Amino acid sequence: MGDAFAIPGTLDQLPELDGPRVRLRAPRRADAADVHAVYSDPQVLRYWSHGPWTDPAQADDWIARSWSGFAERAFLQWVIVRRDDDRVVGSTTLFGCVAQHRRCEIGYALGATHWRQGLAREALALALAQAFMVLGLHRVEADIDPRNRASLRLVEALGFRHEGTLRARYHVGGEIQDSAIYGLLAGERLDG
C-alpha cells in the first residue's frame, strides 16, 4: 500500500463528512448486513476486481479491516449513508497512498437501488475534498473497468482525466478485464 500518509492533527477517529443527502462515516458493527448487501450483489460487483461476497462474515472482516486501516493510517474507508436514516448505501475509500508523492487511489461502490440519483457523485466529492484540502494530496487516481460506462462518466464529471488503459489486468469470475486509469490533480478538482 505504499508509505502510510500522516493525517493532519491528532484525529482519534475517521472524520465524518456531510453532504446534502449523504454522510461519509466510519463503518460500525451494526452496518454489517447493509455492507454485505452491497458487496454480495453481482450487479454492483460486475466490474470489480473480485467477485461478489458469498459469506456474511466477509462484511465483519471488511469492517474490522476498515478500523485497522485507519489506525495504521494505511487507508481511509468510509461507508456512504443516507442522511435521513443513517442506512449504508455504499462505501468509498482512499487507499494505495504514498505520502512521498502525495498520491492516493479512490475506490467506491454503491448499492444498485441507489444508482442514477447523484449519491455516488456527492460521496466522491466529499472524499476528494478531504483528500485535497485536508490531507494535502496532489493526485488521486481511479482504476475502472472500461466497460463500466456509468463509473467512467462519474469520474469524468468530477474532473478526472483518462490517462491510459492497462490491458488484461484482472481475471475475475472467469473473464479477463482491462483497467482504465484516471487521474485528478489538486488544481483540476471540481467542487462536485
For the chain, the structural domain boundaries read: 17-143
The 8-class DSSP code of residue 126 comes to H
Share of the chain above pLDDT 90, in %: 73
Q: Once rounded to an integer, what is the mean pLDDT over residues 139-143?
A: 96
- Copy the grid coordinates of residue 116: 442514477
Number of CB atoms found within 10 A of residue 111's CB: 21
Return d(Cα 151, Cα 158) in angstroms, integer.
11
- Say if residues 188 and 147 touch (Cβ distance below 8 Å): no
- Copy the grid coordinates of residue 163: 490517462
- Residue 155: in which H helix or E strand, if any? helix 149-157
- Say if residues 176 and 140 touch (Cβ distance below 8 Å): no
Q: What is the mean pLDDT of the chain?
A: 90
| Angle at CA of residue 74, ends 68 and 75, nearest 5° | 85
- Say if residues 80 and 24 touch (Cβ distance below 8 Å): yes
3-state secondary structure (DSSP) of residue 56: coil
**Residue 69 confidence (pLDDT):** 87
- Copy the grid coordinates of residue 99: 505520502
Return d(Cα 155, Cα 141) in angstroms, integer.
10
**Residue 50 confidence (pLDDT):** 87
| pLDDT at residue 11 is higher than 60 | no
**Hey, what CATH topology would domain 17-143 get?**
Aminopeptidase (3.40.630)
Please state the pTM of the whole predicted model: 0.91
Return d(Cα 24, Cα 22) in angstroms, integer.
7
